Amino acid sequence: MNDPGFPLHLSLAGRRVVVVGGGPVAARKVAGCVAAGADVLVVAPYACEQIVADAGAGLLTWVERDYQHGDLADAWLAFAATGDRATDEAVEADATAQRTFCVRADDATAGSARTPATLRRDDLVIGVGTAGAGGTADPRRSVAVRNAIAQAMDSGTLPLRRHRPAGGHVVLIGGGPGDPDLLTLRARRELAAADVVVVDRLAPLAVLDELGPDVLVLDVGKTPGRHPVSQHEINLLLVEHARAGRRVVRLKGGDPYVLGRGGEEAAACREAGVSVDVVPGVTSAFAVPAAAGIPVTHRGLARQVTVLSGHDALDGADRADWRSLAAAGGTLVILMGVAALPRISAGLLDAGMKPDTPVAVVENGWSPEQRVTTGTIADIAERARSARSPAVIVIGAVAALALT
């Protein structure tokens, strides 16, 4: 008779689980049970390194001998994973006699319980298994389906939004230089689970088309000289929606912690008692030069990188700052510096930088409108006078490698 099985998540915290066997297969079962907080007993004459380490750390008890009748006393669940059929059958028989569920690692069609191919993402736990006994169980098929679900979840194509309130939360996401293909898998998942998305102008805006119609999108993008929503107001928006029980994604360009004011936003959330996570992004400081064929470090040319905000130059860095930057060597990468380029080049020249030092200005990196302007520190301000934000300026020997 076909056995359809009954899918069930077990709470093993504080409950005795006996794993008979000490090899790699047993170790995988042990790891899952330890993670679930079970009271784990391993019975095996030998054990692999991870089991020995966990036993030494007090995470489980290891009885260093062969299985004996009575080892399953007080067990809620048993795993027979010795690889010896006679021993595994004996474990199953003892478990059945005392009404303890038993998983047979050597035979997916035997035993009174089966472990599914499991997927964990945040607070979602998904198990995939095939029903049936007598040879119809198909673990490899389960794994293939599990992997396909994982890929769909990671790409953000499955509906991951909560339908029951789970407490407000903020996630700061680095969107990279603007190409949606450069978003991380974690970023995709978080966007698929968002109730509110607070987005910047330089974020990968194309991903907004993938959001559900009931996701609230708030555009707080800044352009040079125009800041319709102040940073203080952005911080208040994040806190307000999180306190209302919503999952809030703050979608920014580049990396939120590289000249992105993400640290300020995270601090504002924590000060307001709102939980916050950060998902790093591909920083434009490195990704945009790469789009133009420029490695920011290169053997024989540059062994270090300095990243600077162009706003600092406009705000008035003093001569000592320019001397330090000019003498540092390596590569100087400047974000948000197009408007300040004349002052930057003049400051570095006055501080002693060689006039023939290569410079590249990369506009709209990773987009069809990408444009690269090359020159030297002496003439780049004139050559790039038509350049517009967003752009990344690269100064140093590696800039000569730019693909134009």
Q: List, by residue number, the catalytic residues.
A: 200, 222
Amino acid at 124: L
Task: For residue 386, report the phi and psi dihedrals to the nearest 5 degrees.
Answer: -95, 0
235: three-class secondary structure by DSSP? helix
Closest of 228, 230, 250, 229 to residue 239, by C-alpha: 250
- CB contact at 8 A, 130 and 46: no
- CB contact at 8 A, 320 and 327: no
- CB contact at 8 A, 220 and 136: no
Amino acid at 200: D
CA distance 107 to 79: 12
216: three-class secondary structure by DSSP? strand
240: three-class secondary structure by DSSP? helix
Structure tokens at 100: 């303890």
Q: How far is CA 382 from CA 11, 379, 387, in A?
A: 69, 6, 10
CA distance 159 to 193: 7
Closest of 139, 132, 97, 133 to residue 117, by C-alpha: 139
* Strands of 196-199's sheet in order across: 216-219, 196-199, 247-252, 169-174, 276-279
128 forms beta bridges with: 117
Q: How many CA atoms lie within 13 A of 81 on its CB side?
A: 26
